[in-house]
Copies of this chain bind each other. A is one copy, B any other.
Amino acid sequence: MTRRFVAQLTDGEALEEIYLVADKQLRANRNGNLYLQLELRDRTGAMSARLWNVGEQLAHTFETGDFLLVKGKVQLFQGALQIILTGFERCETQKVELTDFLPRTEFDINKLLEKMRGYLLKLTNPHLRALAECFLMDEPLIRDFAQVPAGVRNHHAYVGGLLEHVVNLMDVADRVSPCYPGVDRDLLLTGIFLHDIGKVRELTIGRAFAYTDEGQLVGHIVIGVEMLAEKVARVPDLTGEPFPAELLWRVKHMIVSHHGELGFGSPVLPMTPEAIALHHLDNLDAKIHTFVRDIRDDRNQVSAWTQYNPSMSRRLFKGAPGGAAYSPTLEDQ
């Protein structure tokens, strides 16, 4: 049976589905009777839910962050939908499809993976192609790579986010490559593939995206170099030749320098054409992605501006309702 997502619920429908408890309050109503006020959510959104006349004991059988299989009915109240519960049961996390509860790329992860594989297996430099193969052969790693978000809060912060970002970057690099003959296309594509690979160990997907202990203590840049060192040691088995030292330094350098400035966590500055290209393309893709999504997802239909975004220190311009076509002309000003 397919899942009934929060975004699909409609007034009046009967419901039996699993949701994550995002907030839980035990309150007394005006007669002193206790009721539960919950916030339930999955990856499509959140909704209020209420269970009347509960005992304290029942109320303590679960906590915020747990999953509940709830029964009840959806109804409209004060202009918004809410769920009136008739019962619930706590679910073990193991039995839950966690990714139903986390935001997720809008693209097909398998197609993204195929596209990435396509770029990598067509690299012309045999050392770099063999290096990519060593990564691609590591199935558990690639499985994680295909799931991890690009970040906890910032751009591409959803399941499959890193993969989507990497594939889009490869498309962009592939297209602009002819404009920059001084930039080695193979090196650049390898750098795009590996620049954030340490995030596979830096981040974890549980009930929410979070940093691992290792991730916080060591950081994805250093972890990424360690992962590269492990794989590069196996390349000679494929190529029959030692991996060229300078080539390896150039790949490491792209990982290490891709944040572009010391103050942003790169221990060295970009010092090769491929490293500076990677840094700026990464930035370009992340920022356009953020701008376009923030504008698209902003809920306020009155203002021409999004909410103030503190991490970018600005609001974004969505455009006047009706857009450019209907906007007041200069003579009207």
Which of chain A's residues 265-284 have a Cβ closer than 8 Å to chain B?
A: 265-269, 271-273, 276-277, 280-281, 283-284
How far in angstroms is the closest Cβ of chain B from A109? 18
Alpha-carbon gap, A145 to B316, bound state (A): 28
Whether A268 touches B216, Cβ cut-off 8 Å, given contacts A247-B324, A280-B280, is: yes
Contact with B along A315-333 (1 / 0, CB 8 A): 1110110011101111111
Known A267-B265, A288-B183: A323·B216 in contact at CB below 8 Å = no
Residues of B contacting A245 with CB < 8 Å?
214, 327-330, 332-333
The distance in angstroms between the C-alpha atoms of A324 and B232, with both chains bound, is 16
9 other A-B residue contacts (CB within 8 Å) besides A262-B264, A267-B267, A271-B316 = A172-B176, A175-B178, A218-B268, A245-B328, A246-B324, A246-B328, A271-B317, A273-B291, A284-B284
CA distance A143 to B327 in the complex (A): 25
- A242 and B327 alpha carbons, distance in the complex (Å): 11
The chain B residue with its CB closest to the CB of A176 is B172
Q: Cα distance A185–B2 when bound, in Å?
A: 40
Q: Mark A212-231, 1 if CB is under 8 A from B, else 0.
A: 01101111011001100100
Scan residues 132-159 of chain A and give those whose CB is less than 8 A from a CB of chain B: none
CA of A110 to CA of B221 in the docked complex: distance in angstroms? 37
- A296 sits at the interface (CB 8 A): yes
Q: Are B30 and A295 in contact (CB under 8 A)?
A: no
Asked if B222 and A271 sit within 8 Å, CB to CB, the answer is no
Docked-complex contact A327 and B246, CB < 8 angstroms: yes
The answer on a CB contact under 8 Å between B331 and A242 is yes
Q: Any chain B CB within 8 A of the CB of A5?
A: no
Count of chain A residues with Cβ under 8 Å from any Cβ of B? 85
- How distant is the Cα of A159 from the Cα of B263 in the complex, in angstroms? 31
Assess the B267–A317 pair: CB atoms within 8 A.
no
Known: A243-B330, A271-B315, A271-B317. A249 touches B217 (CB 8 A): yes
A257–B127 alpha-carbon span in the complex (Å):
32
Chain A 44-74 near chain B by CB (<8 Å), digits 1 or 0: 0000000000001000000000000000000
B330 touches A248 (CB 8 A): yes
What is the chain B residue whose CB lies nearest that of A264?
A: B262
Q: How far is the CA of A277 from the CA of B291 in the complex (A)?
A: 10
Q: Are B219 and A268 touching (Cβ within 8 A)?
A: yes
Q: Can you pick out 18 interface pairs between chain A and chain B where the beta carbons lie within 8 Å of each other?
A: A56-B78, A172-B179, A176-B176, A180-B288, A213-B249, A216-B268, A217-B272, A218-B249, A218-B252, A218-B253, A222-B222, A222-B252, A225-B225, A246-B319, A246-B327, A250-B317, A262-B263, A262-B264
